[in-house]
Structure 1
Amino acid sequence: MAIRLIISFSIFLFAIFSFATVGRSSDAIDFQRDIAPIFEEHCSYCHGKDEQESGLRLDRRVSLLRGGDYGQPAVVPGKVDKSYLIDVVTHSDPGMEMPPDEERLPDEKISLLKRWIEQGAQWPGQMDQVVEEELNHWSFQPLREHFAQDSVDGFLRERLTAADLSLSEPADPRALIRRVSIVLTGLAPTPQRTAAFIDEYDREPGRAYTELVEELLGSPHFGERWAQHWLDVIRWAETNGSESNLYRKNAWMYRDYVVQSFNEDKPYDQFVREQLAGDLSASGEATGFLVAGPHVPSATVGAEPSARRQARADRMDEILQTVGASVMGMTVGCARCHNHKFDPISIQDYYAMSAVFQDVEFGSRFPELPPSDPRVIRQRELKSQLDHQRQSLRNAGGAWLEDWTGYQEVHFPTRRVERLRIAFASRNVFADELEIIETAGNDNASSRNVALASLGTTIVENPATINQGMSAMNLVNNAFGAKEFKATAPPDSLERPWVEFHFPKSVSIDRIRISSNREDYLETDFVEGLHRIQYGEFRLETRDESGQWKPFASTSAIKKRVQEDQELQAAMETIDTIISAMQTEGPQPAFVARFIDPVNTFVLSRGSPESPRDQVFAAAPSRFDGELAVPPDAPGPARRRAFADWLVHPRNPLTARVIANRVWHHVFGSGIVATPSDFGEAGAEPTHPELLDWLAKGMIDSGWSTKQLIRRLVLSKSFRQSSLPHETGLARDGSAQLLWRFPPRRVEAEVIRDSILQASGSLDVSIGGPSYRIHNVKKRYAQWEVIDNHGRETWRRMLYQERMRRVDDQIFTAFDFPDCGQIKAKRPVSTTPLQALNLMNSDFVVTQSELLAQRATAEAGEQLADQVVRCFELLLCRVPTRAERKIATEFAQEQGLELLCRTLINTNEMAYLP
Structure 2
Amino acid sequence: MHYKVATRRHSFIVLAFQVAFLTSCLGAIAAENDSFDGKVAPLLSQSCLSCHNADEQKGGLDLSSREAAMRGGDSGPAISASDPEQSLLWERIQSEEMPPEHPLDETEKTILKSWINAGAVWGTDPIDAFAFSNDRRAGRDWWSLQSLGRPVLPASASPDTQPIDAFVQAKLAEKNLAPSPAASSDSLLRRASYGIRGLPPSADELASVRSGEETYEELIRRWLNSPQYGEHWARHWLDVARYGESDGFEYDRMRPNAWRYRDWVINAFNDDMPYLRFARLQIAGDVLEPDNPSAITATGFLVCGAYDGLKPQVDLMRQIMRQDVLEDFVGTVGQTFLGLTINCARCHDHKFDPITQREYYQMTAAFAGVNHGERDIPAQPDKVKKLNQEIESRREKLRELEAPVREQLSARKSDSLGPNPIAAWDFTESNQDLIGQLHAEPQEPTKRIELGVKLNGNSTWLATPALPETITTKTLEAWVALSNLDQRGGAAISLQTLDGVKFDAIVFGEREARRWMSGSNGFVRTSSFSGEAETESGDTLVHVVITYAADGTITCYRNGQLYGNPYKASHLENFAAGNAQVIFGLRHGPTSPDRLLAGTLKTARIYDRVLTAEEVASSASNQPFISIQKIVEQLSPQQQKLHTELKQELDQLLGQQANLKGGKVYAANGRNPGVTHLLGRGSPLQKRDAVPAGGIAAVQGLSADFKVEPNASDEERRRQMADWIASENNPLFARVIVNRIWHHHFGRGLVATPNDFGFNGGQASHPQILDWLAAELIAQDWSLKELHYQILCSDTYRQSSVFNKEAHAVDANNQWLWRFSPRRLTAEEIRDSVLQAAGFLNRQVGGPPFQDVRPYLHRGAQFYEAIDPEGPEFSRRSIYRMWARGGRNPLLDAFDCPDPSATAPQRAMTTTPIQALTMLNSPFMMRMADEFSARISERHTELGEQVEQAYRDTFVRPPTSEEKARARAFAQEHSLSALCRVLLNSNEFLHLD
State whether TM-score is above 0.5: yes
* 2:646 is the alignment partner of 1:634: no
| Structure 2 equivalent of residue 508 of structure 1 | none
Is the Cα contact below 8 Å between 2:54 and 2:62 reproduced in 1?
no
Could you say which residue in structure 1 is the equivalent of 2:801? 723
**Would the aligned equivalents of 1:285 and 1:368 in 2 still touch at CA under 8 Å?**
no
Alpha-carbon separation, structure 2, partners of 1:584 and 1:691:
38
| Paired amino acid for 1:808 | R
Contact 1:563 1:569 in 2 (8 A): no
- State the shift of 1:526 in Å: 6.6
Q: Judge which range, 127-136 or 268-277, deviates more.
A: 127-136
Which of 699, 709, 719 is the aligned partner of 2:787? 709
The offset of 1:790, in angstroms, is: 5.0
- Residue identity opposite 1:784 in structure 2: Y
Mapped contact 1:526–1:777 kept (Cα < 8 A):
no
Instruction: Give the corresponding residue for 2:168.
Output: 156
- Structure 1 position 248, deviation (Å): 1.4
Are 2:860 and 1:853 equivalent residues in the alignment?
Answer: no
Show the counterpart of 1:820.
Answer: 900
1:215 aligns with 2:222: yes
Tell me if structure 2 keeps the 8 A contact 1:774–1:786. yes
Per-residue displacement from partner, 1:297-319 (whole Å, max 9, x unpaired)? 1xx23222111111111111111
Find out whether 1:277 has 2:277 as its counterpart. Answer: no
Query: For structure 1, which runs of at least 5 residues remain unmatched after alignment?
Result: 1-46, 66-123, 379-387, 392-408, 412-523, 530-561, 572-581
Q: Give the distance between the partners of 2:817 and 2:125, measured in 1 at CA.
A: 49
**Counterpart AA for 2:307:** H
Q: 1:811 aligns with which of 891, 905, 909?
A: 891
Q: 1:843 to 1:528 in 2, by over 3 A?
A: closer
* CA spacing shift, 1:709–1:410, aligned 2, 3 Å: closer
Equivalent residue number for residue 907 of structure 1: 986
- Aligned CA distance change for structure 1 residues 564 and 733 (closer, same or farther; 3 Å): closer
Q: Is the 8 A contact 1:142 1:653 kept in 2?
A: yes
Is the aligned partner of 1:192 residue 2:190?
A: no
> TM-score with structure 1 length normalisation?
0.64
* Residue deviations 1:590-612 (CA, integer Å, cap 9, x gap): 21122221111001111112221
Aligned pairs for 1:127-276 within 5 A: 129=126, 131=128, 133-134=131-132, 135-149=140-154, 151-200=163-212, 208-276=215-283
Q: Give the counterpart letter for 1:868 in structure 2.
A: V
With over 3 angstroms needed to count, the CA separation of the structure-2 counterparts of 1:377 and 1:747, relative to structure 1, is closer
Residue number in structure 2 paired with 1:335: 345
Contact (CA 8 Å) 2:954, 2:983: kept in 1 or not?
yes
Assess, with a 3 A threshold, how the Cα gap between structure 1 residues 883 and 212 changes in structure 2: closer, same or farther: same
In the alignment, what sits opposite 1:326?
Answer: 336
Alignment root-mean-square deviation, CA: 3.3
* Amino acid paired to 2:325: R
Give the secondary structure class of the aligned counterpart of 1:654.
Answer: helix
Residue of 843, 858, 862 corresponding to 1:765: 843
Match for residue 302 of structure 2?
290
- Partner Cα separation in structure 1 for residue 325 and residue 378 of structure 2: 23
Distance 1:832 1:790 in 2: 28
Q: Which moved more, 1:889-898 or 1:238-247?
A: 238-247
1:285 and 1:309 map into 2 onto residues whose CA distance is: 27
Q: CA deviation at 1:243?
A: 0.6
Rounded to whole Å, the distance in 2 between the matches of 1:663 and 1:61 is 41
Structure 1 distance, partners of 2:947, 2:809, is 40
Q: What CA distance in whole angstroms lies between the structure 2 residues aligned with 1:679 and 1:125?
A: 32
Check the 8 A contact 1:673/1:679 in 2, yes or no.
yes
Is 1:866 matched with 2:945? yes
> Structure 2: how far apart are the matches of 1:616 and 1:878?
63
CA distance in 2, matches of 1:602, 1:867: 70
Of residues 625-634 and 862-871 in structure 1, the stretch that sits farther from structure 2 once superposed is 625-634
Cα distance in structure 2, aligned partners of 1:776 and 1:223: 28
Paired position in structure 1 for 2:922: 842
Q: CA separation of 1:245/1:49 partners in 2, compared to 1, >3 Å: closer, same or farther?
A: closer
Work out whether residues 52 and 61 of structure 2, in 8 Å CA contact, stay in contact via their aligned partners in 1. Answer: no
Identity of aligned residues (%): 37
8 Å Cα contact 1:736/1:743 also seen in 2: yes
* Aligned amino acid, residue 781 of structure 1: A
Give the conservation status (yes or no) of the 8 Å contact 1:247–1:526: no
| Cα gap change, 1:850 to 1:751, in 2 (>3 Å) | same
| Amino acid in the other structure paired with 1:183 | G
1:788 to partner: Cα distance: 2.8
- Change in Cα spacing, 1:875 to 1:635, as seen in structure 2 (3 Å) is same
User: Which amino acid is 1:715 matched to?
Assistant: C
Instruction: Identify the match of residue 323 of structure 2 among 313, 323, 326.
Output: 313
Work out whether residues 853 and 897 of structure 1, in 8 Å CA contact, stay in contact via their aligned partners in 2: yes
Distance 1:55 1:700 in 2: 45
The residue number in structure 1 matching 2:593 is 566
Give the Cα–Cα distance (whole angstroms) in 1 for the partners of residues 315 and 57 of structure 2: 32
Q: Deviations over 1:129-183 (max 9, x none)?
A: 5646251111011112341256111111111111222221111111111111000
Q: Tell me the equivalent position of 1:42.
A: none
Match of 1:615 among 674, 690, 698: 690
Contact 1:789–1:809 at 8 Å: present in 2 too? no
Report the 3-state secondary structure (helix = DSSP H, G, I; strand = E; otherwise coil) of the residue aligned with 2:842: coil
Structure-1 residue corresponding to 2:627: none
- Counterpart Cα distance in 1 of 2:271 and 2:659: 25
1:53 shift after superposition: 4.4
The answer on whether the counterparts of 1:366 and 1:588 sit within 8 Å (CA) in structure 2 is yes
Asked if structure 1 preserves the Cα contact closer than 8 Å seen for 2:52 and 2:63, the reply is no
Q: Kindly provide the amino acid, as one letter, of the partner of residue 139 in structure 1.
A: S
Say yes or no: does 1:800 pair with 2:869. Answer: no
Q: How many Å apart are 1:50 and its aligned residue?
A: 4.9
Q: Distance in 2 between matches of 1:175 and 1:769?
A: 34
Counterparts of 1:874-893 in structure 2, within 5 Å, are: 874-893=953-972
> Contact 1:376–1:586 (CA<8 Å) still a contact in 2?
no
**Cα distance in 1, alignment partners of residues 684 and 385 from structure 2:** 42
Give the AA of the match of 2:190.
R
Report deviation, 1:623.
2.8
Q: CA deviation at 1:568?
A: 10
Tell me if the contact between 1:376 and 1:587 (Cα under 8 Å) persists in the aligned partners.
Answer: no
Q: Kindly indicate whether the alpha-carbon contact (under 8 Å) linking 1:241 and 1:295 is maintained by their aligned counterparts in 2.
A: yes
Deviation at 1:249, TM superposition (A): 2.3
The alpha-carbon deviation at position 369 of structure 1 amounts to 6.7
Q: Is the 8 A contact 2:675 2:710 kept in 1?
A: no
Secondary structure at the counterpart of residue 343 of structure 1: coil
Structure 2 CA distance for partners of 1:525 and 1:754, relative to 1, 3 Å: closer
- Alpha carbons of structure 1 residues 888 and 284: separation in structure 2 relative to 1, 3 Å: same
Q: CA deviation at 1:629?
A: 3.3
**Of 362, 367, 370, the match for 1:352:** 362
> Contact (CA 8 Å) 1:371, 1:377: kept in 2 or not?
no
Distance change (3 Å), C-alpha of 1:852 and 1:564 = closer
**AA aligned opposite 1:738:** W
* Secondary structure in 2 matching 1:603: strand
Answer whether contact 2:379 2:663 (CA < 8 A) is retained: no
Q: Distance in 2 between matches of 1:835 and 1:790?
A: 22
Alpha-carbon spacing, 1:588–1:64, altered in 2? closer, same or farther (3 Å)? farther
Across the two proteins, how many residue pairs are aligned to each other? Answer: 622
- The alpha carbon displacement at 1:689 in A equals 0.6
SS of equivalent residue, structure 1 residue 865: helix
Partner amino acid for 2:989?
M
